A and B are shown apart, each in its own frame.
Chain A
């Protein structure tokens, strides 16, 4: 067994959340409450951190509950889970930024946490000063930063502006500078939160490459991301958090599959009869809908670039009839992206009683983000029979649509297409 580097036992972290106070209903009580405000404020502020005795209090929120695991040197562990599942709190406890309310962590070796790019950057200071500052904050010694200084500068590509205050830098330059410093850390344990979310594709790739580098040298990397592709590619192990607990721990492929199906709460469907936007006017109506992955498992969060099936249950209260189905894919703000028409695809479907209608996209061509699908079923006899503008609401997880793993910025377009590239060079006559 390789060396144990991190061990947690029964880790718990509670935060106090505000409790609604009684409303005053007369002028007199309102006045009284106004006078009492400083005392109440004092009690509330004091109470912010005094929850050790009474953990059953109704305004305590347990961001982490009974988390126990062992991590060994050389492991790259990804933490996945919906927003609010406790991933960031866990990283903060492991980085010693905040203390656990219960339980304990044992760590061995030098820890660097990268919860943000460019921590401690001061806008008034020059790039040079900020490199020194940021490096020291991240745990390098002065000597170490000095030794790697030229390398860091070259990596960042801001040589020209080294003596300019960074308040005059563009956002991209600041990110590059911050990342260059972080990339030159040599910790035993590296803790990385969603920092990939900030940079452009090139930046993300460099960051991932650097992390792979760190892990391959026998160091331990802990990694939180919503980019399932990155977790899958990078991690040797993955833990799924839900409601502050670790609900699954194992092979990244399996854990991610669990996360994308059962434990995510991202998707909603609008197939309820109470849906106010729904217009049912004919005998054909949708009763349910679901999204499936390549293996036919139901998923809540489709993955960009993966084979995805949209399946609809249809009921026909009348005689069997030919029908067409239309799905319109829209961005969260309602902007239409593309549509799938069974009729245009040349498929005439006869629907009687209960039927399942499905359409499969080989490579889901959407950027990570939030989407909705409007569904309609059209009878060949009397036109639109049932229309649900918000049939599916879901988030798409990032992965590798393109071989490079990069995504174009959303402003370049909302739909992903991959093409066959060739190059033909005419050799000039000598």
Chain B
């Protein structure tokens, strides 16, 4: 018997189809929604605060002061011959983005449980919107960093062209990790509790307060499996020009971040059908 609904222009919802990756291709159709979620996240973040976007500068700046006093002055951590404050701030701008984007995106599904239970949209848009919204803070941090570099007397060099590549790796790493963690956090709230201190531990597993060079040369490539190693070291070598580019570390990080991003997106897609039920 011919089913009258056997037309191609019908959208099919079924148990069999629900694990497919097809809804990834719907995301462009929801670009407006993504845009507004990004705007919402940006506007809400500093709503009813006196300093507003000033906080995007204060957060890494305060960390820079603390690290400079403790690690730079008191402990005397080596900074490849650079001023420790500049050395730390160059790392803190990408790191602050990574840690904020990751924590906010991880909790984006549980924070928007109401939206998930009331309306359909590709759920991947939620972590994506947080990862995108935090780029504003990152841009403000970058402006601050460039000002600092000019004051410090660093002239723009061709190495700066590497920065966009590093930024892409940084975003993919944050997004990929957030896809995994946010999908897990819907079912296991433990992930939300763990993500805050995990990010803190991860900071010490990245060359934020110290230089890559304190890691024995034999282990550096293993160390670079953390994509933020390549990103942060790349930021320093590109912007400060003090050390030679470690393209090997960046390449390892790029591959890992790509794997993280793709596998995270696939895992997320396979899990998203349960979000409305178990969230």
Chain A residues with CB under 8 Å of chain B are 4, 7, 15, 42, 45-46, 48-49, 52, 70, 92-108, 111, 113, 115-116, 119-120, 122, 124-125, 129, 132-133, 136-138, 141-142, 165
Contact = CB atoms under 8 A, between A and B. Distances in A.
B14 A104 contact: yes
Contact of A48 (B36, B114, B274): B274
B10 A133 contact: no
Interface in B29-86: 32-33, 35-36, 39-40, 43-44, 47-48
Contacts, number: 118
B188 A136 contact: no
Interface string B3-25: 11101011111111110000000
Given A122-B40, A125-B43, A136-B33, 15 more contacts: A7-B4, A48-B187, A49-B274, A70-B5, A97-B116, A97-B120, A99-B14, A103-B15, A104-B15, A105-B12, A105-B14, A108-B11, A116-B118, A124-B43, A129-B43
B15 A102 contact: yes
B13 A119 contact: no
B277 interface: yes
Contacts of B17: 104
Contacts of A96: 13, 120
Residue in A42, A46, A100 with the greatest tally of chain B CB atoms within 10 Å: A100
Given A93-B13, A103-B15, A141-B32, A45 B187 contact: yes
B5 A4 contact: yes
A138 B30 CA distance: 11
B33 A98 contact: no
Contact of A95 (B47, B120, B273): B120
A149 to B, nearest CB: 14
B5 A7 contact: yes
Q: How large is the interface on B (under 10, 10 to 19, 20 to 34, 35 or more residues)?
A: 35 or more
B83 to A, nearest CB: 39
Contacts of B12: 104-106
A345 B119 CA distance: 56
A64 to B, nearest CB: 12
A97 B113 CA distance: 12
B278 interface: yes
Given A102-B15, A113-B120, A108 B276 contact: no
Contacts of A49: 187, 274, 277-278
Contacts of B4: 4, 7, 70
Contact of B188 (A45, A103, A107): A45
A124 B119 contact: no
A297 B120 CA distance: 43
B213 interface: no
Interface string B112-151: 0011111111000000000000000000000000000000
Nearest to A193: B118
Contacts of A106: 5, 10-13
A52 B277 CA distance: 14
A115 B32 contact: no
A163 to B, nearest CB: 12
A237 B114 CA distance: 31
A97 B276 contact: yes
Contacts of B5: 4, 7, 70, 106
A130 B36 CA distance: 10
B203 to A, nearest CB: 27
B40 A133 contact: yes
B10 A107 contact: yes
Interface string B87-124: 00000000000000000000000000011111111000
22 contacts: A42-B188, A48-B187, A48-B274, A70-B5, A92-B117, A95-B119, A96-B13, A97-B117, A97-B118, A98-B277, A99-B18, A100-B15, A101-B15, A102-B15, A106-B13, A107-B10, A113-B119, A119-B118, A122-B44, A125-B40, A125-B47, A133-B36
A103 B14 contact: yes
Contacts of B115: 119-120, 137
Contacts of B47: 124-125, 165
Residue in B5, B48, B273, B276 with the greatest tally of chain A CB atoms within 10 Å: B5
A128 to B, nearest CB: 11
B7 A115 contact: no
Contacts of B3: 7
A380 B188 CA distance: 70
B44 A46 contact: no
B32 A107 contact: no
